[in-house]
Amino acid sequence: MVKYSTAQQPQGSDPLAISVVIPLFNEEQNVLPLYHALDSAMEDLGCTWETIFVDDGSTDGSYKILQQLHSRDHRVCVIQLRRNFGQTAAMVAGFDHARGDIIVVLDGDLQNDPKDISRLVDKLAEGYDVVSGWRANRKDGFWLRRLPSQIANWLISRTTGTHLHDYGCTLKAYRAEMIKELRLYGEMHRFIPALMGGNGARIAELPVNHRARRHGKSNYGMSRTVRVLLDLLTVKFSLSFFTKPLQIFGLIGLLSFLPGFLICSYLVIARIAANQLLADRPLFLLGILLTVVGIQFVSLGLLAEIQMRTYYESVNKSTYAIRGVLKSRSEQMGHDDYSGSGETIKNHRKEPRAITN
């Protein structure tokens, strides 16, 4: 269910500058303090804005409070998901309904400070596409929260090539045209900067304020570590081999096939030249196994190549991303009307010479 405010902007007014997306789950005690803090911070910016609360299947009174805010403030949009789909899906729902040129995301637990939004937006105006918050002075436990996060940030940075201190900080600012191009599944929200970086986005990072949770309890635990590692494999494959899967599957296949082929060749020569028995030699079985596995990986890479090309051509999707185009004058004016140095192209063509005997 989506509730839009009934008070719309008047016709002819400026378009929305900023959309603030806030996914939340069972944050009944935090909704009102967060709304008031956000309202105060955004008023200081002096631009048009909206707040999109995404209720990710809360079972407490969060949605009732959001309904009250919606009826009081025309800048509040409320999206209620049918069940708890997870933070990634909640963010995507907010992105899909955001109308601002800039989309800012922050948590609904009051640990992110809305006052930092102005700094992120100012940094974005310097020409960046993503500005990520960095909880330099994080107010969480060391062993269960900060240490695993530091290891994950190092691993993600090394694997994806997009180096950030804090991938887990929800407080980030995005240019709407770029974030809406992403298709996010599973729990890929923490990899958004890496995915956008692989698409050519300019990324910056700013230290932001981080506060201890005052109400409720965290919805995260150590179980997310395994999910992060699995998602990281998906991200690495998407960034490096999504448009060329044969290069990874083919390489693995060749590394398996060549040793297997050499082993089998050696044993065949030994059988013919020295009349050695092969049936009771484990090396013979290893050679066959490596050869078959190698052929299977190469075949898998070929099938993935066909599927990848079918996907891109069926949806008419490009394998590149354009930041901007400086068109030629002939393209801007039309080929028939283009002239150089005041003369048309036709006038520059030489007349054919007459053939004389």
Rounded-to-integer distance, Cα 171 and Cα 154, Å: 19
Q: Average pLDDT in the 207-224 region?
A: 77
In 3D space, the residue among 8, 23, 28 whose CA is nearest the CA of residue 53 turns out to be 23
**Domain assignment present for 335:** no
How many structural domains does the chain have? 2
Mean of all residue pLDDT scores within the chain? 87
Same domain, 113 and 21: yes
Same domain, 104 and 158: yes
**Domain assignment present for 348:** no
Tens-place pLDDT, residues 192-202 = 999 999 999 99
Query: What is residue 343's predicted lDDT score, i.e. its pLDDT?
Result: 47
Same domain, 109 and 96: yes
56-94 burial, b for 16+ CB within 10 Å, e for fewer?
bbbeeebbebbeebbeeeebbbbbbbeebbbbbbbbbbb
In 3D space, the residue among 165, 163, 274, 184 whose CA is nearest the CA of residue 238 turns out to be 184
Q: Is the pLDDT of residue 111 over 50?
A: yes
Pick from 209, 240, 271: which residue ends a domain? 240
Tens-place pLDDT, residues 75-93 = 999 999 999 999 999 999 9
Per-residue confidence band for 344, with pLDDT thresholds at 50, 70 and 90: very low
Pick from 222, 240, 258: which residue ends a domain? 240
Tens-place pLDDT, residues 295-336 = 999 999 999 999 999 999 998 888 888 888 998 887 667 655
Same domain, 236 and 249: no
**Domain assignment present for 57:** yes
User: Higher model confidence: residue 8 or residue 208?
Assistant: 208
Residue 106 sits in a domain of what CATH number? 3.90.550.10
Per-residue confidence band for 144, with pLDDT thresholds at 50, 70 and 90: confident
Same domain, 26 and 103: yes
Same domain, 230 and 215: yes
Q: Is the pLDDT of residue 28 over 70?
A: yes
Domain that includes residue 281, residue range = 245-314
Q: CA 90 → CA 7, 67, 74, distances in Å?
A: 24, 18, 21
**Domain assignment present for 202:** yes
**Domain assignment present for 328:** no
Pick from 240, 273, 304: which residue ends a domain? 240
Tens-place pLDDT, residues 47-61 = 999 999 999 999 999
Query: What is residue 14's predicted lDDT score, i.e. its pLDDT?
Result: 53
Percent of the chain scored above 90 by pLDDT? Answer: 67
User: Higher model confidence: residue 235 or residue 7?
Assistant: 235
Percent of the chain scored above 70 by pLDDT? Answer: 87
Whether the model pTM is above 0.85: no
